[in-house]
Amino acid sequence: MRFRLKEILLSCSILIIIPFGFTGSVNAKNKVAVPDVGEMFYAPHFKRAITKKGYNPHKIKTRDHLIDSKKIFTLNVKNGEKLGNIFSRTISYKSKTDSFAEVVSRVSGTGIYTVLNSDPQKPAFNGEFRYDGRPESHGSVEIRDEGKTNIYNGKPYTNTDGSGLMYNSLIWGTPPDKIKSGDTWTVTIPQPWELGGSGTQTITVLDIDEKNNTIMLKREGTSEGFYDHDAKNVGIIKDGKTIKMDITPGQSHWIGYTIFKNGLVISDELLVTRPVTLTSDNFKFEALEREYILLNAMPAP
């Protein structure tokens, strides 16, 4: 179930997102939790590598030999297993000259997925989603085409979410058959997606825990134009009055870390920024837009 996050976010002062890949309507994020969260979460050396100063490659034990990427990115779950995600998203418009009050929208929630079909080529789930401040929703979710297509309650759509339950080749591309720490591959994203327009990004392998089929990646890219289901206008407050402004986007740049295990997203964060020009009949402002998504595994109740 996807969610049109921006439409929800900008339609109210508090946004409400829908789990990546399976709820609501546009883009979103979700995270997975396997029964044994201790083993499923990223390996201890991954945790030590994330410090208050960010990623520190010198604190990780690297592995230089090649690993079969299919062992890491191929789904490996069992029928009846429950996977849990907790997620949030924020969108902000900030004037470059303090001409108006910063506009901020936020949304958060949880998703629980019960595995109905564990076939990695056509997995199916029963989804339960709760977005804070909104009624719970339920539905069937099927995933096809290496994550590119989601089918929610029998209706297919292209999965343009920035993150999700599983590896999505539309966003992440096809990794090399054999990979090691330090390897990179380039992805051409052919269409607008949740946190970018059509563009390119580079995927870098930061570390691999071969024993636990776990990998830590960095993704960084740029694009032009509007995002999928992007807002074309935003309301700002100036001199105590709300003014509707049209948005003209500049070039987007995004960067973030993601951890996969057995084809599932375990931890994901992504920040995108871009300059925007806001115009109305009487005003024109230069501003900075930034959006970020956070997705983490959680124990499924």
Phi/psi at 146 (5° precision) = 55, 40
Identify the pLDDT of residue 41.
Answer: 36
Q: Would you give the DSSP letter of residue 193?
A: B
pTM: 0.81
Identify the pLDDT of residue 9.
Answer: 53
Q: Which residues contact 122 (CB under 8 A, 6 or more apart)?
A: 142, 143, 144
Taking alpha carbons only, the member of 149, 140, 139 closest to residue 171 is: 149
Identify the pLDDT of residue 65.
Answer: 84
- CA dist 258 and 178 (Å) reads 19
Identify the pLDDT of residue 10.
Answer: 46
Residue with tokens 């789930």: 125
- CA dist 285 and 200 (Å) reads 28
Tens digit of each residue's pLDDT, the chain (301 residues): 344 444 445 444 333 333 333 333 333 333 333 333 333 333 434 444 444 445 454 444 445 689 999 999 999 999 999 999 999 999 999 999 999 999 999 999 999 999 999 999 999 999 999 999 999 999 999 999 999 999 999 999 999 999 989 999 999 999 999 999 999 999 999 999 999 999 999 999 999 999 999 999 999 999 999 999 999 999 999 999 999 999 999 999 999 999 999 999 999 999 999 999 999 999 999 999 999 999 998 999 8
Q: What are residue 218's DSSP bridge partners?
A: 204, 257
Residue with tokens 């009624």: 135
- CA dist 14 and 16 (Å) reads 7
Identify the pLDDT of residue 301.
Answer: 86
For residue 145, which amino acid is it?
D
Identify the pLDDT of residue 208.
Answer: 97
| Contact between residue 112 and residue 83 where contact means Cβ atoms under 8 Å apart | yes
∠ CA 171-112-14, rounded to 5°: 75
Identify the pLDDT of residue 246.
Answer: 98
- CA dist 68 and 33 (Å) reads 23
